[in-house]
Amino acid sequence: MLIAGILLVLVLVGAGLIWKRDSAVEVAPPEKAAAAEETASGSIGSTDAARPSAARGAQRWQFPVRSEAATKALQARAEAGDAAAQRELALAYDRCLMVSLDPADYPRQIHAFASTRGSAEEAAIAEQAGQALMEECAGLDDGQRIPLDAITMWMQQAAQGGDLEAIATTWRPANTHALEQAALWDRVIAEHHAEALYALSNLYQADERDRRFGDVLAGDHASTALELAACRLGKECGPGSVFMRTMCTAAGACADASYEELLLRALPAAERKVLQMQVEAVLQKLQRQGWASAEPGHR
């Protein structure tokens, strides 16, 4: 079932930065190291490089790519102690980990992967996503192999530097008091931080999540409802985003669609309705708990 694979997609592999999901991935795309989407910081933008268009010709976006110059600037900011840059660098390393193992062979892997997609449009999107990823990764450490511990190191440094998304990503409630768990949720809500909310949506945070949302979240899609709420509140999950680029290269879900649209397509009508109702209920509760607006663009 497609949704089972989608729910596992954003996992920082190796090095202990793992966001657990409910079940195993059922597809085998070339980028087995899944990633998290970039924040909307402007450091990743579209590229002028030619890429194949989606088959139906209606696609108006290109997958974003960070240029080599922007990548070097990002690394310089991270090395200078910028916590947000350290988090972005950790995510870039995670996305590029598998590409760096054999960059010369990655184009063949992408082409083979694209040839297994279910339609010409999906195949074109897969080719686009793989090309965009290769362009980004070529500028990271000059294309050298990425050490596993670099992902952990930069994300932990970002958390130590106070970056809220990094704190939420690396946080382990088993090692903290319940009051600290509640305080982290309170901070995420007070700061309207959609990316950190997404990071808190997984099963490790189930106790505090259930305390806050247990009256409106139930069943297999409780975490998914929080994820979609985060997308509606500002996390970049739309068509052509880095998030959806990774959905394609890491989970095989190559579509000219948002994360929510992709998930809803994979569900039977009855489950779709339940999930949509849960997302709306979560948004209402978040507003009552202090999230001032359910509009995107929290920063």
Q: What is the mean pLDDT of residues 149-175?
A: 90
Q: What is the pLDDT of residue 207?
A: 79
- The phi, psi pair for 65, rounded to 5°, reads -140, 135
Residue count of the chain: 299
Q: What is the pLDDT of residue 46?
A: 42
CA gyration radius for the chain? 18
Q: Tens digit of pLDDT for each residue in 31-77? A: 443 333 333 333 455 443 333 344 444 565 688 888 889 999 999 99
Residue 48 lies in a domain: no
Residue bearing the bigger pLDDT, 274 or 6: 274
Tell me what percent of the residues of the chain surpass a pLDDT of 90: 55
- 175: pLDDT strictly greater than 90: no
- 223: pLDDT strictly greater than 80: yes
Residue 207 lies in a domain: yes
User: pLDDT tier at 172 (50, 70, 90 boundaries)?
Assistant: confident
**Number of domains the chain is built from:** 1
Q: What is the pLDDT of residue 269?
A: 94
Distance of CA 9 to the CA centre of its chain: 8
Q: Tens digit of pLDDT for each residue in 71-122? A: 999 999 999 999 999 999 999 999 999 999 999 999 999 999 999 998 999 9
Tell me what percent of the residues of the chain surpass a pLDDT of 70: 74
- 15: pLDDT strictly greater than 80: no
Do 19 and 13 contact (CB within 8 A), yes or no?
no
Q: Tens digit of pLDDT for each residue in 256-272? A: 999 999 999 999 999 99
Q: What is the pLDDT of residue 56?
A: 44
The CA-based angle 41-291-243, given to 5 degrees, is 35
Residue 242 lies in a domain: yes
- 17: pLDDT strictly greater than 70: no
- 12: pLDDT strictly greater than 60: no
DSSP 245-278: HHHHHHH----SS-HHHHHHHTS-HHHHHHHHHH
- Averaged confidence pLDDT in the chain: 79
- 7: pLDDT strictly greater than 50: no
Residue 142 lies in a domain: yes
Residue 216 lies in a domain: yes
Domain that holds residue 23: 2-37+54-288
Residue 45 lies in a domain: no
Residue 298 lies in a domain: no
Residue 299 lies in a domain: no
Work out the burial of residue 172: count CB atoms within 10 Å of its CB; fewer than 13 is exposed, 13-18 middle, 19 or more buried. Answer: exposed
Q: What is the mean pLDDT of residues 143-172?
A: 92
Amino acid at 106: Y
pTM: 0.78
* Look-up of token digits 């998930």: 263
